[in-house]
Structure 1
Amino acid sequence: MAHDSLLARAREVWLEMAAVPMAFPADGGVDVAVSGRSRLCPPGWVGIVAVGDAAIVTVPADNWAETVRKVLVGLPVEVLTDADRLRAVLPVTEVLGPASLAYLDEGDFQPAGLTVDVVPGDHADLATLLASVTADDADECGLVDITSPAFVVRRGSHVVAAAGYRRWPGLVAHMCVLTKPNQRGRGLARAVASAAAADGLANQLLPQWRARPEPSRRVAQALGFRQLGAQLSIRIGT
């Protein structure tokens, strides 16, 4: 089935990012491993990624591995990316996420069908767009890190929406989308994201949409992305 293939590809992405031999348990549940080079989370943090009915967790050092393993192995997979539930069982001091993880199979793609402009990923107009939003919005969208061209919509001479992707390990096109606040709700995010996703698919990449805000998740769903899991990073105190 296409869904099974998409699930398998998504899991392979995160197994590579874990930078240590591990697996999503075939019978569900969680696998915990020590990885000082994990890209599931910032350095020194615990990274948790659930995809489908199983999860993988990386811890930065041996001294936390057994504690985290004992606590998390007994929890349902759907709870592993719930920050409030984890705070009840671990000494969590900081949290990043959770963010939903959605992926696009070419057969599911629902393109927007709107014409957009294409500019280099480091075009000055993108910097102007990023400067027009809050620091949180700029960080969330990831547009500054794209390695693809940028797909943009203009109003007059100004870019008001843009999308692109950063190429990740595992042949992934990690989607990055931003719309100027006063232009939101008009379908512009879907238009530029559609063009970026089409470019990723044309380059034999797996489009990945990681999002926290619900409006962003709705855009992904409209384009045919399937939400397959979630990611959470936690810092544990001593």
Structure 2
Amino acid sequence: MTLDPGTAAIIQLAWARRLGLADDAFAESLRSGERIVRVDDAARTVEFVRLFGSSALVGPEWIVDAAAGIPDEEMAHHVTLLTLTRTHGGHGLGSAALFFADDLPLRQPSEELTVSHGNPEAIELEGLCPPDDVNEVGLSDLENRYTIIREVEGRRVPIACGAYTEWEGLLAQMGVLVDPEWRRQGMGSLAASIAAHEALAAGLTVQWRAEVSNTGSLALARKLGLSTGGIQTSVHLG
């Protein structure tokens, strides 16, 4: 689905505040055609973000200087940031595509389901999933959780959880975790849809971050009807 014209401005405002920039930084960047930069010599992470045609780079002065002549298209590649930060111990994180929505079609389950808002069910679900998946989704950092419960052999079992946390009171940063035994059955998209509609009802714009190499996460974002809005590339410094 397409975004309302004013939604891009809301998204850029949230990211500007998240990155420690002026509220109108992205709008000014779009008008001037120049990259936004913020020097933070104490930063332990370098962030490059591109949103709706505007870009921002936040990090120590040496990375800002080194990146000055490099086009945004190249800066969006994780390997570029790794190369620029190699002598300062640059490692990890990667590049993530950013998807957004201010409205979504309602997905109706084919059967009646129980949805829990409690923490114990989400924690139990994490125990059923591979640690890498648990760490990537980070349910513990997403305070609004909606866990789908199924009756299995007389036991109530959590099978999928859609969750979000608020960014700057404007965006709902989403995450979804599904028990491996219940994957490829539509449970992930259903859990995500439940959480997304709760976020929209709260007046937030939905945000989905998908690592560019995570084909499953990218496919789920598109299946939900989210719109592509940008990319975030980050590295930790040693």
TM-score norm. by structure 1 comes to 0.84
Query: Relative to structure 1, is the Cα distance of residues 206 and 190 closer, same or farther in structure 2, using a 3 angstrom cutoff?
Result: same
The corresponding residue for 1:30 is 35
Query: Relative to structure 1, is the Cα distance of residues 35 and 206 closer, same or farther in structure 2, using a 3 angstrom cutoff?
Result: farther
Give the SS at the match of 1:174.
strand
Query: Relative to structure 1, is the Cα distance of residues 172 and 233 closer, same or farther in structure 2, using a 3 angstrom cutoff?
Result: same
RMSD across aligned positions (CA)? 2.3
Query: Relative to structure 1, is the Cα distance of residues 116 and 28 closer, same or farther in structure 2, using a 3 angstrom cutoff?
Result: farther
The corresponding residue for 1:69 is 64
Give the SS at the match of 1:173.
strand
Matched, 1:235 2:230: no
Give the SS at the match of 2:126.
helix
Residues 145, 161 of structure 2: 8 Å contact kept: no
Deviation at 1:72, TM superposition (A): 2.2
The corresponding residue for 1:168 is 167
Residues 116, 148 of structure 2: 8 Å contact kept: yes
Deviation at 1:201, TM superposition (A): 0.6
Residues 19, 35 of structure 1: 8 Å contact kept: no
Matched, 1:87 2:82: yes
Q: Distance in 1 between matches of 2:56 and 2:114?
A: 39
> Quick one: which of 146, 151, 154 aligns to 1:150?
146
Query: Relative to structure 1, is the Cα distance of residues 170 and 15 closer, same or farther in structure 2, using a 3 angstrom cutoff?
Result: farther
Residues 151, 195 of structure 1: 8 Å contact kept: no
Q: Distance in 2 between matches of 1:183 and 1:101?
A: 26
The corresponding residue for 1:40 is none
Q: Structure 1 regions of 5+ residues with no counterpart?
A: 38-42
Residues 8, 52 of structure 2: 8 Å contact kept: yes
Q: Distance in 2 between matches of 1:204 and 1:99?
A: 24
Percent identity, aligned pairs only? 26
Q: Distance in 1 between matches of 2:169 and 2:39?
A: 21
The corresponding residue for 2:191 is 192
Residues 102, 229 of structure 1: 8 Å contact kept: yes
2:65 is matched by which residue type in structure 1? K
Q: Distance in 1 between matches of 2:142 and 2:81?
A: 32
2:44 is matched by which residue type in structure 1? G
TM-score norm. by structure 2 comes to 0.84
1:196 is matched by which residue type in structure 2? A
Aligned residues: 224
Q: Structure 2 regions of 5+ residues with no counterpart?
A: none
